[in-house]
Amino acid sequence: MQTGTIHLVGAGPGDPDLLTLRAARLIENARLIVHDGLVDPAILALARPGARLISVAKQRSKHTLPQEDINALLVREAQAGRDVVRLKGGDPFVFGRGGEEMEAAKAYGVRVEVVPGISAANGAAAASGIALTHRDSASIVSFVAGQCKGLSDQDWAGLAGKGRTLVIYMGVKTAPQIAEKLMADGLAPSMPVAVIENACRPEMRVLRGPLAALPDLVEAEAVQSPALIIIGEVTARENAALEQIAAEVAA
């Protein structure tokens, strides 16, 4: 039997209109879709009638399937001759563990196609009007995972500060440790921060404040995943620009 193909597809930040054409076509024609929990239901609704949808949703310390079992599922289905659309939020290769799934497939001789998607960072920043880079504020952008083993031992020195933007994925539950860590590394408590919840969706919220208040902001506003934390001067540029305009008008 001919082996099927595993398509590692990025579903983008949530809005179906932000899918690539290739991603939309694969979803619409797929007979088997293995999807993450953060894939918006509106995107799954694009699947053809009768398509088999398998959720491998992951939550903090609670996984429907361990990653090794997901790898095995994808390989097993492809070896049975079925094409598989492996649908992931954002981009498959940005904290999506797409690299691990690709390596597992190739180890068994299974063909893999990667379909990139708009990353959660790019989508969230654009939807909230935050330019991750700006000639006057930031020429360096770093992505880090805020929910991982050994967080306190990781070296984040230099990732945030003057002229830099730091984007933190999966940082809602560890916001207190993140704020403490960055301030211990020398980042000013007043450094502007934005928390973007449900980016590119009707219920999107953008919350702003200083780094020192990040834990209280997350708790007081009951922020839930999916959410990103962006740290840097770019998150306050809109307010700064309005203040400058107001000062010029007053003068």
pLDDT (tens digit, 9 = 90+) per residue, 156-203?
888 999 999 999 999 999 999 999 999 998 899 999 999 999 999 999
Annotated catalytic residue within 15, 17, 36, 173? 36
pTM: 0.87
- Give the model confidence (pLDDT) of 126-165 as tens digits: 999 999 999 999 999 999 999 766 677 788 888 999 999 9
Annotated catalytic residue within 17, 40, 58, 181? 58
Residue 149: active-site member: no
Name the token pair of 194: 């934005």
Residue 173: active-site member: no
Q: How far apart are the C-alpha atoms of 230 and 228, rounded to whole Å?
A: 6
